[in-house]
Amino acid sequence: MGKIEVMSENLANKIAAGEVVERCMNVVKELVENSIDAKATEIKINLVDSGVKEITIIDDGVGMDKDDAILAFSRHATSKIKSLEDLFYVSSLGFRGEALPSIAAVSLVDLKTCNGEVGTHIVIDGGEIKEVSESDLKQGTRITVKNLFYNTPVRLKYLRNLYTELANICEYINKMALSFPNVRFVLTNNDKTLLNTDGSGNLLKVIGNIYGMELTKKMIEVDTSNDDYELYGFISFPDCARSAKSNINILVNGRVIRNTEINKIILEAYHMYIPDGKIPIIVLNISVDPILIDVNVHPTKMDIKFSKMDTLKELLLNSIKEKLESINLIKNMDTYDSKEIELELDSSFNSSKEEKIVAEDKNDSNESMFVKLDLDNVVSDEKEPYEETRNTNDNEDEESCIIKKMYPVGVVDATYIVAENEDGMFLIDQHAAHERINYEKYLEKLSSHDNNSIDLLVPIKIELVNKEYLILKEHFDLLQEMGFVVEEFGINTIIIRSHPYWLPSNKADDCIKKIIDIIISSEDFDKKKFIDRVAAGVACKASVKAHDVLSQEEMIDLLEQLRKTKNPFACAHGRPTIISYSFYELEKMFKRIKDC
């Protein structure tokens, strides 16, 4: 007799469960998706001990008759697809026919369902049907899953703690509520309500239920399309960015997905507005013909493949950038949380503590951190600064500039320029502001392919390790295109004889080394991204630093140049350049008015 035997259906289901059901969230996901496919308008998810002990899903969908209810627990039994052709036009959330048998194989399942004509009650223990009987005639389905993985102790051992399991379930239900705002979702754990939406179809209201009403005030609607894709949803202001990647909610035809490439595209659109490591809050539903996507990549159906990724990338990038460029992004102090302020102040103090000591040693005459500017030659005592210095050309400037003219009145710690205009008071980070100005200048130079260069009196020699040298040598033509004259000079060594004329001569060494570092560290080299990184890197090196003392005229010129940039709100690395204090907020802080 041969050694190969066909596995029993029960054993096969348990093995399949390892792919489909890894943790409590997977059970909730599969059952909730079934409820959505059953056209439910209300779905209740009741958990006991984060779902480890019990998960109950109740919906008001179309329900099932007796035969379908029994057949649903057989492997590959589904009502979603009938033929191979249907696989290319999948519009339902579930279709593989693996979820229910996989769940039933590793738990105790109690199902009550009714299609409006007959009610059915089924009890399954470890994949074996124990009871089939009649049930009440309440339309919809109620399914309870108890003691998950009780008969597969190895899998049970690897379940995470209750808080982690609950957090994963909450994250998924939040995304489903955002996917289907017209469905009411109620999530409870140990009888405590964690989410309760009204199913009114108002997406912004669901965002408020999940993230809070304050955030909804800083969400920007996106509604656009091209020949292949339609986008609808909301993106957050940059100052709402957080640390968790889960705040990017991408839905494709209502299906919650995880797609690394789409996340990268969104972060690329935001990269000039938020610092590295911060993630904007995004809720975007991508509508597309099912034939252009493949959802049959993984049993969990969380990842999908796009046939026309280039057109989707272009649509995402352009729509997000246009929205961000169309709004005023000056950060107002009333948007800061007090804990955020405290953390930012602590980190900035610690990181610059040594710099401050050095600055104080260099400038012993600076007795105060606040320096009042001498504006006697600019304004009189009888008029506001912005009224006196305004001239006939200001109105023309207002039309071409995103922000209004600001007038410097002081400086704090030789780092933050204090300015004002008719809207209130402003703090401007002098380094971030100058970096933004320089970035746009260098980006224009690099994009214009102007390769005029300046010969160096003393060539710059740079030694590299062999791997770095080989990478750099591959891109010699790129350096020459920028205006560098580069020659090999011995083993793993190059010399720079000329550099682009726009490179700051006093920072040439640092800037050249930065450009070489960017070339060496670039993965999947992309020329457009490379130019952007070079412009940002050189701008940072060439800009004034914190504690560099600026004259009054230099501050005025800096603020005026900042106004004329395309994005005056953030430096090249996403840090804010300006923080505003409205007169209302100032008066409220000084108790000159009562907060209503």
User: In this predicted structure, what is the pLDDT of residue 554?
Assistant: 94
pLDDT attached to residue 245: 81
Looking at the predicted structure, is the pLDDT value of residue 368 above 50? no
pLDDT (tens digit per residue) in 118-172: 899 999 998 888 999 988 888 999 999 998 887 776 666 667 678 888 988 998 9
Q: Which pLDDT score, from 0 to 100, does residue 565 have?
A: 92
Could you report the per-residue pLDDT of 234-254, keeping only the tens digit for each?
A: 999 988 888 888 889 998 888
- Would you say the pTM of this structure is higher than 0.85? no
Q: Furthest-apart CA pair in the chain: how many Å?
A: 108
Rounded alpha-carbon distances, angstroms, from residue 17 to 29, 30, 34, 116, 564: 14, 12, 17, 31, 60
Residue identified by tokens 């090196």 is 541
For residue 5, what pLDDT band results from cuts at 50, 70 and 90? low
Question: Of 497, 503, 533, 529, which is closest to residue 518 (Cα–Cα)?
Answer: 533
| Lowest-pLDDT range of 74-83, 446-455, 507-516 | 74-83
Write out pLDDT tens, residues 542-567: 899 999 999 999 999 999 999 999 88
CATH 3.30.1370.100 in the chain, residue ranges:
450-542
What 3-state class would DSSP assign to 367?
coil
- For 279, the token pair is 């993630």
- The pLDDT value recorded for residue 76 is 54
Answer whether residue 409 shows pLDDT above 80. yes
Pick the more confident residue, 7 or 300.
7
Give the phi and the psi of residue 494 in degrees, each rounded to 5.
Answer: -130, 160
Position 191 pLDDT exceeds 90: yes
222 pLDDT more than 70: yes
Question: What residue type is assigned to position 520 of the chain?
Answer: I
pLDDT at 364 over 70: no
Residue 3, pLDDT > 70, answer no
- Name the segment(s) of the chain with CATH classification 3.30.565.10: 9-196
Query: Once rounded to an integer, what is the mean pLDDT over residues 77-85?
Result: 48
Between CA 405 and CA 557 the distance in angstroms is: 11
State the average pLDDT over residues 481-509.
88
Across 494-520, average pLDDT = 87
The CATH homologous superfamily for domain 332-434+546-589 is: MutL, C-terminal domain, dimerisation subdomain (3.30.1540.20)
The number of beta carbons lying within 10 Å of the beta carbon of residue 177 is: 25
- Which residues of the chain are in CATH 3.30.230.10 domains? 218-327
112 vs 373, residue with greater confidence: 112
At residue 434 the predicted structure's pLDDT band, cuts being 50, 70 and 90, is: very high
Question: What pLDDT is recorded for position 116?
Answer: 85
Q: What is the pLDDT of residue 12?
A: 58
The CATH number of 9-196 is which of 3.40.50.720, 3.40.309.10, 3.30.70.60, 3.30.565.10? 3.30.565.10
Region class of 92: left (phi > 0), else alpha (psi between -120 and 50), else beta: beta
CA distance 456 to 497: 6
Q: What is the mean pLDDT of the chain?
A: 80
Partners of 371 in beta bridges: 411
Half-sphere exposure (Cβ direction) of 479: Cα atoms closer than 13 Å:
26
Model confidence band, residue 591 (pLDDT cutoffs 50, 70, 90): confident
Of the pLDDT bands very low, low, confident and very high (cuts 50, 70, 90), residue 302 is low
Give, in order, the Cα–Cα distances in Å from 296 to each of 86, 287, 291, 306.
12, 17, 12, 12
Percent of the chain past pLDDT 70, that is, above it, reads 78
78/564: higher pLDDT = 564
What is the domain class of 218-327 according to CATH? Answer: alpha beta
- Cα 104 to Cα 96, 125, 151, 299: the distances in Å are 15, 7, 11, 16
Backbone angles phi, psi at 328, to 5 degrees: -80, 120
Q: What is the pLDDT of residues 337-353, one digit of tens each?
A: 434 433 333 443 344 43
**Residue-level pLDDT at 561:** 94
Residue 232: which pLDDT band, with cuts at 50, 70 and 90?
Answer: very high
pLDDT on residue 595? 55
Higher pLDDT, 421 or 68: 421
Q: Examine the pLDDT at 215 and tell me if it is beyond 90.
A: no
Q: Specify the higher pLDDT residue, 380 or 346.
A: 346
Q: Are 188 and 43 in contact, with CB atoms under 8 Å apart?
A: no
pLDDT of residue 578: 93
pLDDT for 89: 46
Cα 291 to Cα 90, 91, 287, 478, 512, distances in angstroms: 8, 10, 12, 40, 49
What's the confidence (pLDDT) of residue 371?
47
Q: What fold does the segment set 450-542 form as a domain?
A: Ribosomal Protein S8; Chain: A, domain 1 (3.30.1370)
Residue 44 phi/psi, 5-degree rounding, is -110, 130
Question: Residue 338 has what pLDDT?
Answer: 39
- Percent above pLDDT 90 for the chain: 34
